[in-house]
A and B are shown apart, each in its own frame.
Chain A
Amino acid sequence: MSDAVSVAGLVKTFGATRALDGLDLVVRTGEVHGFLGPNGAGKSTTLRILLGLTRADAGTALLLGADPWAGAPELHRRLAYVPGDVTLWPNLSGGEVIDLLGRLRGGVDRRRRADLLERFDLDPRKKGRAYSKGNRQKVALVAALASDVELLLLDEPTSGLDPLMEEVFRDVIREEQRRGDRTVLLSSHILAEVEALCDRLTIIRDGRAVETGTLAGLRHLTRTFVEADLAGPADGLAGLPGVHDLRTENGRVLFDVDTDALGPVLGRLATAGVRGLVSRPPTLEELFLRHYHRTGATASTTSTGSATSTGSTASTASAGESAEASR
């Protein structure tokens, strides 16, 4: 089976700004692929190139097996798109927009439309100018999800939605996932969302893919967080290879450890006598911080272990991580 999206060495400049700088991205057919990056990383530009709206300066892009620029209007029968910043026609009602976009794509599934309207709790009779940001987002989501298409391109689709609606969105995407015949490219800077939904993900920074793979595969590259309550002093722990950010709080030691150095470190802990131990894989947020912390950016300590704190931004990072981050 061919890939739904296959992008290699994509370059796009706007004047002096290099929005994409050799981006590679592969989305396999049938998967939900997370496209993760901070604001301004080049996510929307990539989607616009995939839609044939913007032309790349260099590199190749294939969408559903065809050139997105040359195949532009015809290819769009097979996909639906939710832009990052949804604006509606002020004098058209939400229902009219949903129907118009659906019909342009070749038809609206009435039952599905009604179902989605109910689940997203959206009044389709309001005029475009009367909707709040979240409701405009819902209009675009319903229009996209009610269409029977192969590929969904979603650009930060939950921005402006309240947590309840985010949950509805996740449920709907999970249903799509179970059906298995739809591919979803989900751009986001919300870690929990990608963590909850995506089979594979690509992390993009400054127009380049810095990491791509399954969530499990990425974790493999990263450290494990360990919190231990020790009977005695753990001398020499700091000197072991692969141990980072060692600190003591209330008599407990907390540190990060490279996965391949886990064995010797656990041995040393056992020697000291373990009364309690918490270890867990890094949250996506931690991965994220590692990749998006730029040298020179304001570094501050952030609390680890908060996979659900979706609001964290790239500018907060542990001071100790800057060395790896600027690789």
Chain B
Amino acid sequence: MSTLTGTGGLVRLILRRDRALMPVWVVIPCLIPVAFVSAFDAGYPTAQARAAYAATSVHNAAFTVTYGPLSGSGLGELVTWRAGFIPVVVALAAVLMVVRHTRAEEEAGRRELIGATAVGRHAGLAAALAATCGAALVLGLLSALALTGAGLPATGSLAYGLGLAAAGWVFAGVGAVAAQLTSGAGGARGAGITVLVAAFLLRGAGDVSARSGGGLGGLSWLSPIGWAHRMRPFAGERWWVLGLAACAVAALTASAAALSARRDLGGGLFQARLGPATAAPGLRTPLALAWRLHRGPLLARAAGFTVLGLVLGGIAQSVGELLDGGSPAARDALARLGGRGALADQYLTAMMTLLGLVAAGYAVQAVLRLRAEESGGRAEPLLAAPVGRLRWAGGHLAFGLLGPAAGLVLAGAAAGLAHGMNTGHVGRELPRLLGAALAELPAVWVFAGLAFALAGLLPRLAAGAFAVLAASLLLGWVGAELRLGGWVTGLSVFAHVPPLPGGDLSVPPLAVLTALAAALTGLGLLGLRHRDLPVG
């Protein structure tokens, strides 16, 4: 029996289990660039208009960080550049899917059930990789087809699609390695996402540096996310970059297989150690238990937010330099935008929204821990002790509200520190950016409140809070370009956050968002008070 016996059957099992989930992440990313094609066609119909658009956008560092470098003003270049965040989404989906079908299965004990049948040692890993890479390839080809169908050259479309697929492949490999390291699926996801965030930041920093003539442009080459952009679709395709991705995939797959062969079922590279025989004196309340459960993720995210703030803030100074030595048109653009400081602020405002989105993701995740405790059967023994259900839920809610707040404080302070040191005005930038980051907090709390309300009222749909967050992200991203009505973009929670720093701090929207968050939280408490527990 080879180590791969049974892979085909396991692939079919994965397809069966993900038959609802997989089409969502395969198809939606294909539709977004098509939407951009019609948007650019309608909004910037002439080559001149596109050139003007490109001349302005190329100097927007927020765009460069989020979407990657803009290589020209052709329709294909504009569209694929504007869709430049998709590789990150595909990579995230790939990491999550591989972990879901490897380590999560193992942790849940189902891998044991499968492993006892006539299935090879590496079949589970191989099947997860094959299914994920296959899905990424389908996603890439569908994207290429869709762009070709929308009237773009086939070669560039194919390069764009394969770039997406490659991002998916590499991060499937990252997920496979991460799944071998820890014995918990949560840790594996965390490790994979950390690599993804690092890749994103490397690419962003490298691209901004390259644009402003700095010496760190090479950083982008270290980032697998950057490779999709480095293929230069529609701008003289560089196919050999695919080889780079292939080498990375091969190396990652080989490492994952080697690690997997060395470890026992259920074990990780980092073995679980023995714990204390008695509990610390403080572990005597539901809140203390919540602290134990949220502590690890909180510390990891605190570090992540700090790094994110340092990098994003560190880049801000070079934003103004983007226009130095630019064309007269670019200097006009700079003047129109309000000078160098305003340009940096515009960039920082966009980055604050990004921080807000990340913090909202964390908030939802932390609140949903409550549901995981409930459906996992761990709430029951606590609630059978003299612990009120609201006290139990409150512990998790506290971390859903305060964890992201701590993250935003750290990110804002770090960004202010980095930007302030670059400009020599730490005393000015630190409070300014700290305040700007905190302005995102009410919007973040709306998501925490939403997740909590769902957990209380519609517990089985609680994960839907992530869907609302994704919709908010999508609206903010494509809404302006597609010229959707103001009321549609207004549906995005983050559209109501005042543009800080630089813009006016208007309190009413923040007050409304806070009140909304409080109302949602109240609904959640009401629901929890009255409903049956536990709901599986």
- Known A99-B279, A124-B278; contact A91-B292, beta-carbon cutoff 8 A: yes
Of A77, A85, A140, A153, the contact of B386 (CB 8 Å cutoff): A77
Told that A83-B377, A83-B381, A91-B296 touch, could you supply 7 new A-B pairs with CB distance under 8 A? A53-B533, A76-B386, A91-B275, A91-B292, A92-B275, A93-B275, A95-B277
Q: Per-residue 0/1 for A14-52: is the Cβ within 8 Å of any B Cβ (1 yes, 0 no)?
A: 000000000000000000000000000000000010010
- 8 closest A-B pairs (Cβ-Cβ)? A93-B275, A99-B279, A81-B384, A104-B385, A103-B284, A96-B279, A87-B377, A76-B386
**Contact A100–B284 (Cβ < 8 Å):** yes
- By a CB distance below 8 angstroms, the chain B residues around A77 are 386
**Contact B277–A124 (Cβ < 8 Å):** yes
**Contact A95–B276 (Cβ < 8 Å):** yes
Could you name 10 residue pairs across A and B whose Cβ atoms are closer than 8 Å?
A53-B380, A73-B388, A76-B387, A89-B292, A91-B275, A91-B293, A96-B279, A101-B382, A125-B275, A153-B384
B interface with A by C-beta (< 8 Å): 107, 183-184, 272-280, 283-286, 288-289, 292-293, 296, 376-378, 380-389, 391, 530, 532-534
**Contact A88–B296 (Cβ < 8 Å):** no
**Contact B532–A100 (Cβ < 8 Å):** no
Q: How far is the CA of A31 from the CA of B376 in the complex (A)?
A: 32
**Contact B279–A100 (Cβ < 8 Å):** yes
Of A54, A91, A95, the contact of B532 (CB 8 Å cutoff): A54
- By a CB distance below 8 angstroms, the chain B residues around A174 are none
Q: How far is the CA of A105 from the CA of B381 in the complex (A)?
A: 11
- Known A53-B534, A99-B279, A130-B272; contact A105-B385, beta-carbon cutoff 8 A: yes
- Known A53-B532, A76-B387, A104-B284; contact A140-B278, beta-carbon cutoff 8 A: no
- By a CB distance below 8 angstroms, the chain A residues around B388 are 72-73
DSSP majority for the B interface?
Answer: loop
**Contact A95–B378 (Cβ < 8 Å):** no
Q: How far is the CA of A13 from the CA of B293 in the complex (A)?
A: 34
Q: How far is the CA of A85 from the CA of B379 in the complex (A)?
A: 12
Of A75, A85, A125, A130, the contact of B277 (CB 8 Å cutoff): A125
Of B183, B289, B293, B386, the contact of A73 (CB 8 Å cutoff): B386
Q: How far is the CA of A55 from the CA of B289 in the complex (A)?
A: 26
Of B278, B292, B381, B530, the contact of A99 (CB 8 Å cutoff): B278
Q: How far is the CA of A83 from the CA of B273 in the complex (A)?
A: 27
Residue A106 CB within 8 A of the other chain: yes
Of A48, A53, A100, A105, the contact of B283 (CB 8 Å cutoff): A100
**Contact B184–A129 (Cβ < 8 Å):** yes
- By a CB distance below 8 angstroms, the chain A residues around B383 are 51, 53, 72
Residue A235 CB within 8 A of the other chain: no
Q: How far is the CA of A326 from the CA of B512 in the complex (A)?
A: 63
**Contact B381–A101 (Cβ < 8 Å):** yes
Of B274, B280, B378, B385, the contact of A87 (CB 8 Å cutoff): B378
- By a CB distance below 8 angstroms, the chain A residues around B292 are 89, 91-92
What is the number of residues of chain A that contact chain B, defined by CB distance less than 8 Å? 44
Q: How far is the CA of A90 from the CA of B292 in the complex (A)?
A: 11
- By a CB distance below 8 angstroms, the chain B residues around A175 are none
**Contact B384–A127 (Cβ < 8 Å):** no
A218 CB, min distance to chain B CBs, angstroms: 30
User: In chain A, what residue has the closest Cβ to B271?
Assistant: A130
Q: How far is the CA of A103 from the CA of B279 in the complex (A)?
A: 10
User: In chain A, what residue has the closest Cβ to B533?
Assistant: A53
Q: How far is the CA of A276 from the CA of B69 in the complex (A)?
A: 99
Residue A162 CB within 8 A of the other chain: no
- By a CB distance below 8 angstroms, the chain B residues around A105 are 385-386
B275 CB, min distance to chain A CBs, angstroms: 3
**Contact B283–A96 (Cβ < 8 Å):** yes
A248 CB, min distance to chain B CBs, angstroms: 46
Q: How far is the CA of A96 from the CA of B380 in the complex (A)?
A: 17
Residue A126 CB within 8 A of the other chain: yes
**B273, B382, B532, B534: which has the most chain A beta carbons within 10 Å?**
B532
Q: How far is the CA of A89 from the CA of B274 in the complex (A)?
A: 14
**Contact B386–A106 (Cβ < 8 Å):** yes
**Contact B276–A125 (Cβ < 8 Å):** yes
- By a CB distance below 8 angstroms, the chain B residues around A125 are 274-277
**B284, B385, B387, B391: which has the most chain A beta carbons within 10 Å?**
B385
Residue A74 CB within 8 A of the other chain: yes
Of A51, A85, A88, A96, the contact of B278 (CB 8 Å cutoff): A96
Q: How far is the CA of A79 from the CA of B316 in the complex (A)?
A: 60
User: In chain B, what residue has the closest Cβ to A130?
Assistant: B272
A281 CB, min distance to chain B CBs, angstroms: 37
- By a CB distance below 8 angstroms, the chain A residues around B384 are 51, 53, 76, 79-81, 83, 153
